[in-house]
A and B are shown apart, each in its own frame.
Chain A
Amino acid sequence: MQAETAPPSHSLAPSPGAGPPESDDPIVRDQFIRLQAARERRRARTRRIVRQVVVLAAFVCLLGLAYTAYKAFGTAIDDAQSGWLLIGSFLPETTDLKMPPVLDILAGIFEEPRGTGDAFWTIVAGEAAFTLREAAVGFAIGVVVGLGIAIALTTSGRLERALVPHVIASQTIPLIAIAPIIVIWGRKSFDFLPFEWQDWMSVSIIATYLTFFPVTINGLRGLQSPRPENLELMDSYASQWGQTLWRLRLPASLPYLFAAFKIAATASVVGAIVGEISAGVKGGLGRRVLLEAQRYTTGPERLYVAVLGAAALGIFVFVVISTVEYALVGRKGREAVT
């Protein structure tokens, strides 16, 4: 009876629409359930991504609509100023210069600014790549430094209590204030390095300043997240400090770290842009925003496009980190099969 109902082993891979195999062998059944679960997960993930993209698009459209509606409302008030005197006096003006129409902004993306042979979006993309390099280097250094501090703090509760307030205090110093100092230091003091120090590296250091903080704070929580009995288990195996760090504390802290990485990655973009502006670096989105603000009257939509580019860069780094997170920690089977 079993020989009739059990499927041949090569049919184990689920074909579309196949029901569970009528097998008494738990391994066969189990393997089938596992494959099916994996397929389910992939499908759910695709659905989730599609849903997120649709929601984002809808949100952007809504934002554009609200912008246009507010503008029309403001213009209407301006046109009928006599009846709306009070409101009209404190609502901002909604002229085309102050609020370029959405369609103008969209057109600005593809327009070729005078004197350049390129569409504006390629220029912005180039600046974004420049900023991305600064942010990525800053992020990488920030992760190493932040995690290093977190690991150091894990070694002793006294050290943690002594140093964490200073780590927090470090974030109260305004970025704008330290940026010029770092640039000046970079130009004068890093002669010992085997490569020539460039201003964009100073911007990376500024980005590091924003990046290391969430990594330290969340990393510390993550490194301390293993249950006492798991730490006792490692002790009972006479595990050395480094072994416990690598095999228990670090893997346990990955979910905490990735939450921090997402914050840190977007913060590193913000840090890079602010750094560019206050350091006077030639190139990058910060520089572009400053430039377009200066010649706003001749093309207001370009400033908006540059800002949209900055937003896109922030979203990009967030998506990159989320993808890595999914690959590293998101794949574990969460649902009980047995």
Chain B
Amino acid sequence: MSDASAANGPDGDIAIDVAAVELDGVGKVFNPGRSNEVDALTGIDLRIAPGEFVTLIGPSGCGKSTLLRLIAALTDVTDGSVSVNGKTADRARLDRDYSMVFQRAGLFDWRNVSRNIELPLELMGWKAADRRQRSAEMLDLVKLSEFARHHPAELSGGMQQRVAIARAMSFDPKLLLMDEPFGALDEMTREHMQNELLRIWTETQTTVIFVTHSISEAVFLSTRVVVMSPRPGRISAIIDTDLGERSEATRDHPEYFANVTAVRNALRGGHAS
């Protein structure tokens, strides 16, 4: 914790200049030179400022998940460069600059909820007392305090995903990468989780990159929607969708519907005005 604040403190004015994520001519080819070679991504240029909530949307196979994995340094770029907080993606991974949430909550069955949240803190060498205190704070944030000692199998899908978010946020990452985190949830739970995520985003000021294939989800959540198209995966449009502070009422707002239409048109092939 102490070194995190030290890094932010003295060069705070520089931090404004440094993009949270900067993608420059990024391309990714799977199995290069072989018969099953796939052009997953080509010529991706994208700059994401700190504090933004950016959604990647597109049909299956457009490389949005691959793009997220490139930013996370879970796979290497073939062309171009990825920088996260002004560092190489892998340096950022080793510095624990980001945290990831997957479609499956991926909690460890053999750990209770609280110990699941403590997992990244354990890996970072936090003391047991600090871990427990932080885990309690995170459970408060996702409103699951009374389930601290439950095992994942005893929780519903939505609750499990909230624990996964608590786990991801536990060490105050500067960047949150979410790969269709609500994709497996029912519509009601999903909307509820979206509200919760926005609340957490507002409270923590974290930069979020969010992958989805739901248009309404993308428009409701993000400040910018990046529309991608497949074969090869590329960015076909970037649409500003910042509606300021959002609430349930936003879902009925005319501007919200206008944005939904704009994203839908972009997805259909750029017939938007």
Contact = CB atoms under 8 A, between A and B. Distances in A.
B106 A227 contact: yes
Given A235-B74, A236-B74, A338-B159, A230 B106 contact: yes
Interface string A232-275: 11111111000100011001101000000000000000000000
Contacts of A251: 108, 110
B110 A338 contact: no
B153 A334 contact: yes
Given A333-B154, A336-B154, A26 B146 contact: yes
Contacts of B262: none
Contact of A337 (B98, B106, B154): B154
Interface stretch (B27-35, B119-127, B216-224, B227-235): B119-127
B224 to A, nearest CB: 23
Given A229-B102, A251-B108, A237 B123 contact: yes
A254 B93 CA distance: 29
B176 to A, nearest CB: 11
B101 to A, nearest CB: 9
B218 to A, nearest CB: 22
Contacts of B108: 230, 247-248, 251-252
A39 to B, nearest CB: 16
Contacts of B124: 237
Given A236-B99, A238-B96, A247-B119, A333 B150 contact: yes
A237 B92 CA distance: 10
B30 to A, nearest CB: 15
A338 to B, nearest CB: 6
A232 B102 contact: yes
A237 B74 CA distance: 11
B72 interface: yes
A144 B103 CA distance: 37
Which of A238, A243, A248, A329: most chain B Cβ within 10 A?
A238
Contacts of B106: 227, 229-230, 233
Nearest to B75: A232
B151 interface: yes
A181 B149 CA distance: 54
A230 B108 CA distance: 8
Given A247-B123, A329-B110, A337-B150, A238 B94 contact: yes
Nearest to A238: B94
Nearest to A229: B102
Interface string B120-162: 1011100000000000000000000010001101111001000
A233 B98 CA distance: 11
B110 A233 contact: no
Main secondary structure of the interface of A (DSSP, over half): helix
Contacts of B104: 227, 229
A30 B146 contact: yes
Nearest to A232: B74
Contacts of A332: 109-110, 151, 153
A233 B123 contact: no
Contacts of B120: 237
A237 B119 contact: yes
Contacts of B153: 332-336
Contacts of B155: 336, 338
A27 B94 contact: no
A27 B104 CA distance: 27
A233 B102 contact: yes
Contacts of B146: 26-27, 30
Interface string A187-219: 000000000000000000000000000000000
Nearest to B92: A238
Contacts of B100: 232-233, 236
Contacts of A232: 69, 74, 100, 102
A232 to B, nearest CB: 5
A30 B151 CA distance: 13
B123 A239 contact: yes
Given A26-B146, A236-B93, A236-B98, A338 B154 contact: yes
Contacts of A30: 146
Nearest to B177: A236
Given A30-B146, A333-B151, A336-B153, A238 B72 contact: no
Interface string B153-177: 1111001000000000000000001
Given A336-B153, A337-B154, A243 B99 contact: no
Interface string B82-103: 0000000000011110111011
12 contacts: A229-B103, A232-B100, A233-B100, A234-B123, A235-B74, A236-B72, A236-B99, A237-B99, A237-B123, A251-B110, A333-B150, A337-B150
Given A234-B123, A243-B123, A251-B108, 9 more contacts: A236-B93, A237-B119, A238-B93, A332-B110, A333-B151, A335-B153, A336-B153, A336-B154, A338-B155
The 5 closest A-B pairs by CB, nearest first: A236-B100, A27-B146, A229-B102, A337-B154, A237-B120
